[in-house]
Structure formats: structure tokens, C-alpha cells
Structure 1
Amino acid sequence: MALLTASELASAYASGELSPVEATTAAIDAIEQRDGTCNAYCLVDAETALDQARASEARWREGNPIGPLDGVPSSIKDMFLTQGWPTLRGSRCIDPQQPWELDSPITARMRESGLVLLGKTTTPELGWKGTTDSPLTGITRNPWDPTKTAGGSSGGSAAAVAAGMGELSVGTDAGGSVRIPASFCGIVGFKPTYGRIPLFPASPFGMLAHAGPMARTVDDVALLLDVLALPDYRDPTALPPPFGAYREATRRDVRGINAAYSPTLGYVDVDQEVAALVDDAVRLLGETGVHVDEVDPGFEDPLEPFDVLWSAGAAKWLSKFPEGSAEKVDPGLRALWDRGLTHSALDYLGANEARVELGIAMGEFHSRYDVLITPMMPIRPFEAGHDVPPGSGYRSWPEWTRFSYPFNMTQQPAISVPTGFTSDGLPAGLQIVGPRHSDDLVLAVARLVQEIHPWPTERAAPVAGEGSRT
């Protein structure tokens, strides 16, 4: 069966050309054939998925689907509570032998919309870094080149979608964790405005934490956001329901808007080939009638306050782990834990003040520019199994993903869209950032980029070469 998008699958279900059972069987077959190399899934429940697919097939046959994504094979990152399945978050410190009785808001909305849940995707322990490996599940690899990282922390979700092991997935993003692997794996990953997708339990990373849909096309991301954007009483910070459908909003005419293009944010070193790919996509966007000015937003790298917020959140989470856990966790996470314990309340409040000031500065910037465009990643995917590119001199993962975490601090919507391949066959992407609550605009600009700069959505990443789970 040819690789179809979620939107195309739904059309095929409606016409009777395909059934959810056929699509789910194809996704399960792809997992069996490809995931031994990618290691994108930490749990696969084929029997339950096929039961869900058969129920969906009956609804489509009766002309009564729950919604436009009924029966679409999907996955969910192992950070979200899922009734009946363990949520281990990549950690050996969480007991799998306990009742798993709750669905997170995200899981609940996916079930209510008839999506077929194939299983859960891998994450670094507690989603703490920009690559995906953990003491529990091993290394997740890039399906375009399994010697390279898929990125993280939603690397399992990105690799699964890119390799055709399910059309849709949902990840978390508190420092770039949806957008980093989306760029590295050549798919679309969207971090909507803070509170647009409800979270429960609340993330220890606080107001940095978002969830986001991941797919091969902007249309599919928008469709999934329509499912996930409904409020849930368990998240008191959740936004009201959106005014309209995001899928329809992607079709708005954005020609004539003012876009700022910042190739470096004023302080980031970018790989020359990645920069050229992004430059070309921005040039094409300008030719459509979007007014593009090359200008930096004018803020300094907020790495220091981000690190305070990040490490303090990790320390808070890990403080709830059983006694003796410190010796079991990822050594890098243990170092983050220790650093977080050194911060005072004043340190944390000062970092949060810097976060607010950055948000105000970006609000003023967007009074002049409708969107900001940057490269998504300043580097290409590097060797799997490393937290930083070998030989780079970087000490921690945020140092090589400086385009992502500022916009978690500001809580703005930001999306990664593929822009092409480097000479060694690795994907690159650009990022589109909008003012808070402009999710519809960001999606519309992203869709225009995808239209003028087509991406091979009809085929899966090749999963070439050799790889292993260790």
C-alpha cells in the first residue's frame, strides 16, 4: 500500500478504497520491518490496535465516523498517561507493575476521535535532552541514516512518522523536543501556544512545557491539533476552545504579511548547507508575495535563565523518585538534577523574570512582523548515542539547539517544516514563529512553505544501513 497522509487515508476510508484495518495492518507490518533498526517504539500493542481499527471500519461502513481522523494509525510519546499501558518515561526508576488507570487529556482526545493507537514511542529519561536514548530503551536512530540521532526528546515519535510506522504522533516540547526531531527526521512538528493543548499531570518544567502534533504534512498536523486543542478541567492553564478549525485556517491567504527572517538570531553559528537550504526556502516564500525582511529580533541568548528553569524542574521531578534512584538514572540527568538542587528560590524567580521580559520583547517585535522565520537546527543530525556532536566542544544539548528553547520561554507557537536534504542525505528544516495565540497564522505560513517547497510525503524514510537498540 502506498504511503498516504492521514488526510488521504480518511478520504480512502470514505470512498471505500481502503479500510482502517488495512491501514493499521500496514503500519504494524512497517513496525515489524523497520523498528528493529530505528527503535522508535517502546511499546506496541498490535492486538488492541486492530480491535480499534475494526471498530472504526464498522463506523465508516455505516457512514458514521467519529471525525476526520477516525481509524488513522497513530502513536503517542511515552510521557503521556495511557490507560492500560505503562508510562515509564524512559526510566528504570518507575515501577511498571502498578495500576495504569488514567488517560492524559491527549490520550483521551485521541481515543474519543477514533484514532488507532499503535503504541508508545521512545523518550530520553523524563524527556530531559535533545536526543533520544535512555538506560531503559536504548538508542533511537534516524530513519534516513541509522548511524545518526533522530533528535529528541520526541525522537521516537519523529522516527516513527518518518519511517511510515503510523501517520501521526504526539510529542512534548519544553525546549524544542517536538521541533528538534521533526527537523532531523524530515517531518512537520508543531509547538502551539502554551495552554493550547492541555497537559495532565502538570509538567515539572512548568510554563516551558507544551505538547505538539507531529506528521508528514502541515494539513495533518492541523487536523490533529483540532483533536487535541479542546480544554480539560485537569489543566487550569488550558486555553478556551479555538474559534474555528485549524485545518481550515491553514488555507487562509498569507500573501502580503510581513515576515522577519533571522538566519542566526544574531548569535548562532549555522552549518553552511543547512543555511543555504533555509535561504532558498525563504527566497521562494518571498516570491509568493510575503514581504520578507532580514532582521534579528534583538535579544541575547537566554541559555542561562533557561538552564535554571530546566534544571530546577528536573530536580523537582526527581525528588519524588524512590530512594536510591540517583544511581539508576541517566548520568546526564543526574548531573542536571544535582545542578538544579543548587538553585535558590530567588534564582528561579530571576530566571522566570527573564522569561517574561523575553516574551514582552517578542511581543513588541511582532507588532512590526507577523512571523519570524529562522533555521530550525543550526547543525545536521550527528552520531547517535551522544548528547552533543562528538568533537564539537559543546557541554550540553541546549548549546546545539539555540533556535528552539527561546520560544518555549516566550510560549509562542513555533513549527518546524522540512526544507530539503544536505549533500549527505540528511533532512533540514526551517522554523516559523508567531505571536502568542497566532497558531492559525503559523500553520497557514507553514502550509504555504510546504506548497512551494514540496517534500516527499508519499514515501517513508529508507531506514538504510545498520543499527541496533544499544
Structure 2
Amino acid sequence: MDFSILALRSAIASGSLTSEALVQECLARIKRLNPVVNAFSQVYEVEALEEARACDREAAQGRLRGPLHGIPMGVKDLFFVADRLCQRGSAAYRNFAPKATAPIVQRMMDAGSIMIGKTTTTEMGWSGSSNSEFYGPTRNPWNPDLTSGGSSSGSGAALAARMVPIALGSDGGGSVRIPAAFCGIFAMKGSLGRVPAWPWSATEMLSHAGPMSLSAKDSALLFNIAKGPDPRDHLALPDDGEDYTEMRSVKTLRVGFAPTLFGFDVAPEIARVVNEAVGSIARGLDIDVRPVAPDWSDPIDIFETLWVAGRGVAYGAQADISSFGSGFRGLVEASAAYDLGDYLSAMKVRAEFSGSVHVLFEDIDLLLLPTVPVEPFSADREAPEGFASPSQTLAWTGWTPFTYPFNLSGNPAASLPCGLTAGGLPVGLQVVGRRYADALVMAFCQQAEDYVFKNKIPPLVVAGGKAGWGTPSNPTVEMSSWNSTGEHS
């Protein structure tokens, strides 16, 4: 079955595929693979099948709900869905069920998508790894010993394992782009406010909501549905009026390539794959790519102040923080070291840093660089073994120096799968545009993906052990044969 959203949409519209059959296939894959990958925290089997049958009855009458009619999705367990548990990866919210639905979820449902379950996340989305004391670690389908990346951990893993064709994620420091890079899928963080984010976040100046998918072509359709204002998000942008599926010319673009930022050492295999991908794109699209070396200072201290002070103070107001996991509890405790002056100073320096980013885009239209400079590491760790992070509180920011800067600046930034390391792990190429040029980033990615990662090998699809789990250090792995769109052959 082809898991491309565009192919599924066409098959359902033509009647060659029923929504019920598609949902059953997804549920079967979740049942087989989730005990090892741990991508879903909740699965709504009965409700999803009922909704699929309703979609099929409507389709038989010539009525389609929208462009995603009958196509299942996974929803990150930070997004509110009315009367569904939203545990946020935390024992503190084990029984929390909101009464309203987040705008991005509602828009996907209104377009016809069926929520099949909630996907795992780190506690309150605090970390870029996939380690969770509440759910247990989410594992990378390419190698279950390794992290899928976070904080949209389950959404990235579920897509890579072809459990669903659509997943929703959020990104406050790289949280859709990190799992996209580690899991070999596509995700874009739009300009700040491009997709409305609700409910309010203490890090609203950093936080983005967005779809994740197997390809840029699929995500272009999803962004058309997701973007546009919502009155509940005061930072939400007006709809830009762009059709993100439109294929525009990219030959006149000024494209810069930064092999690294801030002098960070990029893992040799990441560097090799990214360099080869940039060369392939330049030749395939017949564009000039020139090296750039931004002279920015690493804004890690700015990011940490906003991230720790904002989230820590907001959640630290709870009388008892003992129900939080150790990582997030440490963040809350660390927030006591910050005062209002620290916060305002960080906001000021953030504005200055953002200005330096925006100045770069006076000379170029797009910036290419690695999404993450390290390969996936052990699923039960917050950072690669032996890695010394400059942050005592946020170890993950030490190995994600290329993602959080663009949360601070608000630029659109995508992670495009661009090849495999010698060890068979996917690598992400980050594509960054000037503020509000989301459609341009998406157009470039759609055309570039035809020249990189075309000869995809399949994810390592994990088969369970006796109880459907298997031993992480010696997992049972089943290699399936997939084509470049994820079709099983």
C-alpha cells in the first residue's frame, strides 16, 4: 500500500481504496510495531473504524469531507482534543482531558482526516530526545536501540514505520525537525504564527505547530489546510494566500550553504551526506549554491533563559512538582535562578540575534545546512554518550545548535531527508528561508526531494518478541521492501 497522502487521497476518491481498509492496515501496523517502537500512547481503534465506515458511506454517495477524506493521522499528545486524554508525557496530567480541540487538529478533521491515536512526546515537550519517564523511550524504526528524536518523538517514529501517513507535531527548538532528520521523514516549522498554536504556551515566542509527513509534496497539501489565523492565537499570521503545492521556478534563487554554524563539529558521516546532497540538488535544479559562514554568536544562553524561565515559572506554580519526571522537574527547579531582569535581557538579545539572521537573508533567499550535526544515539539518553553539553539543565540544546536559532528568529525551516550514513541511518538537510517565505521553502523542498534520497531503502520495521516487545539490545527486525513513496511491494 502506497502511504503517500496524495496517492491515498486519489485512491479513496476513485473508490479503489476504502477508508476502512486503510484504517485497518494502520491499526494492524500499530499493533505489530508499537510495542517496540512506542510511537503511540493511545490508540482509538473502535472510534477510528466507526469514523472510517462513515467516510466510506459518504464517499459511496459522492460526498467527500475534504482533501483528507478518510485518511488517518496521529496527533502529538501535547495537542488538545476535546474529551480525549492529553497526558503531555507527564504523570501530572495522567487523567487530564480538555474540553476543546486545538486549531490544527480541528482543521485536519474538518478536511476529513481521522484521528487514530495520540503520539508520544517528552514531558511538556521539554527535550529534543525521545526519552520519557512516563511513556518509556520512543525508538527509531531504522534501529530500535536509537532515539527517534523529540519532542515530536512518536509522530516521527510513526511516520517512519508507516503506522500512519499523517502526523501532527510542534516545534519550540527543533521538535519536528529533529525527529524528521533522525527518522528520515519531512517536516517544516513554518514562520512563527503561520499555523496557529493553542493553548497558550509560556514559550509562545518560540513555539510552532505543524504537520509531519513522508514527503514535502504531502506536507505542502497539509500546510494549505493548517495555515491561517485563529482568534485564540494572538500571534497567528493572516493566510498568505499561497498554494504550497504550486511548483514555481527556483532557478533564480540565491542559495547559501553553511556546512556548520558556531564552529560546531559535525559528525563526519552527516557532513558527507549533506555535502553530497547539496551537490546533487545544485546539479539537479541547475542552481548556484555558494558557501556562507554566518558570523553569529551561538544564542544557546538566550534560548535556555527563555525556555527554562518561561516553562519553569509557568509549571512551577503548581503546589507539588514531585509528579514531574526528573528532567522536567530539574527544569522547573532551575527556573528559580532567573529573575525578571534575566528574562527581559534575553528578550532584548533575542531581538538582536534575530536581526542578524534576517540581515543574512538580504543576500540569499535560502540557507542550507545540516538539520542535526550528530547521528541518532541511544534511545534512553538525553545526549550522545560522552557528549559534554554547555547547558547543565538542557543537555539536548548542546547537540541541536542548528535548530533552535530559527525558533528564536521565527524563520521557516524544514528538514528534508537527504541520504543515509554508512551505517544506514537517515540524515536531514535543513532548508531555511526568510521570514514569511514559507511557500518558497516548501516549493524548493518539493523539487529538491526528487534529487536526494530517491533510492530509499526501507526503515527497519521492528517485529515484536514474545509479548510484542523484544529485547532492545537485540531487537527482532523485519526488513520489508518499500519503494520511494513508502509503498510495500
TM-score over 0.5 (shorter chain):
yes
The match for 2:272 is 276
The match for 2:379 is 384
Cα displacement string for residues 7-57 of structure 1 (whole angstroms, at most 9, x for unaligned residues): 100011122111111111100000001000000000000111112212222
The match for 1:73 is 72
The alpha-carbon deviation at position 317 of structure 1 amounts to: 2.7
Amino acid at match of 2:161: A
Over 3 Å off, 4+ runs: 454-461, 464-469
Kindly indicate whether residue 298 of structure 2 is the aligned counterpart of residue 297 of structure 1.
no
Cα displacement string for residues 294-313 of structure 1 (whole angstroms, at most 9, x for unaligned residues): 11222111101111001012
Q: Residues 73 and 167 of structure 1 are in contact (CA less than 8 Å); yes or no, is this contact kept in structure 2?
A: yes
Distance 1:21 1:397 in 2: 40
The match for 2:367 is 372
Q: Residues 12 and 18 of structure 1 are in contact (CA less than 8 Å); yes or no, is this contact kept in structure 2?
A: yes
The alpha-carbon deviation at position 175 of structure 1 amounts to: 0.4
With structure 2 as the length reference, what TM-score do the two structures score? Answer: 0.91
The alpha-carbon deviation at position 458 of structure 1 amounts to: 9.2
Q: Which structure 1 segments of 5+ residues have no match?
A: none
Q: Residues 92 and 135 of structure 1 are in contact (CA less than 8 Å); yes or no, is this contact kept in structure 2?
A: no
The match for 2:217 is 219
Amino acid at match of 1:177: S
The match for 2:250 is 254
Distance 1:122 1:418 in 2: 22
The match for 1:8 is 7
Cα displacement string for residues 56-98 of structure 1 (whole angstroms, at most 9, x for unaligned residues): 22232233212221111111100010112111100101251x5
Amino acid at match of 2:112: G
1:234-383 paired onto structure 2 within 5 Å: 234-248=232-246, 251-287=247-283, 288-321=285-318, 323-325=319-321, 327-383=322-378
Amino acid at match of 2:347: N
Would the alpha carbon gap of residues 464 and 360 (structure 1) be closer, same or farther in structure 2, given more than 3 Å must change?
farther
- Secondary structure (helix, strand or coil) at the match of 1:118 reads strand
Would the alpha carbon gap of residues 199 and 73 (structure 1) be closer, same or farther in structure 2, given more than 3 Å must change?
same
| Aligned partner (choices 102, 122, 125) of residue 124 of structure 1 | 122
The alpha-carbon deviation at position 324 of structure 1 amounts to: 2.3
Range with bigger deviation, 343-352 or 428-437: 343-352
Cα displacement string for residues 262-285 of structure 1 (whole angstroms, at most 9, x for unaligned residues): 001242110111101000110112
The alpha-carbon deviation at position 99 of structure 1 amounts to: 5.0
1:442-461 paired onto structure 2 within 5 Å: 442-455=441-454, 461=460
Q: Residues 142 and 459 of structure 2 are in contact (CA less than 8 Å); yes or no, is this contact kept in structure 1?
A: no
- Secondary structure (helix, strand or coil) at the match of 1:305 reads helix
Would the alpha carbon gap of residues 113 and 125 (structure 1) be closer, same or farther in structure 2, given more than 3 Å must change?
same
Kindly indicate whether residue 402 of structure 2 is the aligned counterpart of residue 403 of structure 1.
yes
- Secondary structure (helix, strand or coil) at the match of 1:417 reads strand
- Secondary structure (helix, strand or coil) at the match of 1:223 reads helix
Q: Residues 5 and 458 of structure 1 are in contact (CA less than 8 Å); yes or no, is this contact kept in structure 2?
A: no
With structure 1 as the length reference, what TM-score do the two structures score? Answer: 0.95
Distance 1:226 1:376 in 2: 24
Distance 1:50 1:460 in 2: 27
Amino acid at match of 2:91: R
Amino acid at match of 2:355: I
Amino acid at match of 1:166: V
Amino acid at match of 1:374: L
Amino acid at match of 1:285: I
Q: Which structure 2 segments of 5+ residues have no match?
A: 465-469, 474-489
Range with bigger deviation, 133-142 or 304-313: 133-142
Distance 1:40 1:99 in 2: 20
Amino acid at match of 1:265: L
The match for 1:425 is 424
Distance 2:59 2:457 in 1: 24
The alpha-carbon deviation at position 205 of structure 1 amounts to: 1.1
The alpha-carbon deviation at position 464 of structure 1 amounts to: 6.5
Would the alpha carbon gap of residues 457 and 167 (structure 1) be closer, same or farther in structure 2, given more than 3 Å must change?
farther
The alpha-carbon deviation at position 3 of structure 1 amounts to: 3.4
The match for 1:146 is 144
Q: Percent identity?
A: 37
The alpha-carbon deviation at position 245 of structure 1 amounts to: 2.0
The alpha-carbon deviation at position 190 of structure 1 amounts to: 0.8
The alpha-carbon deviation at position 451 of structure 1 amounts to: 0.7
Distance 2:97 2:9 in 1: 34
Range with bigger deviation, 353-362 or 216-225: 353-362
- Secondary structure (helix, strand or coil) at the match of 2:205 reads helix
The alpha-carbon deviation at position 462 of structure 1 amounts to: 2.2
Amino acid at match of 1:368: D
- Secondary structure (helix, strand or coil) at the match of 2:245 reads helix
Amino acid at match of 1:335: G
Range with bigger deviation, 416-425 or 141-150: 416-425
Would the alpha carbon gap of residues 99 and 424 (structure 1) be closer, same or farther in structure 2, given more than 3 Å must change?
closer
Paired positions, count:
463
The match for 2:107 is 109
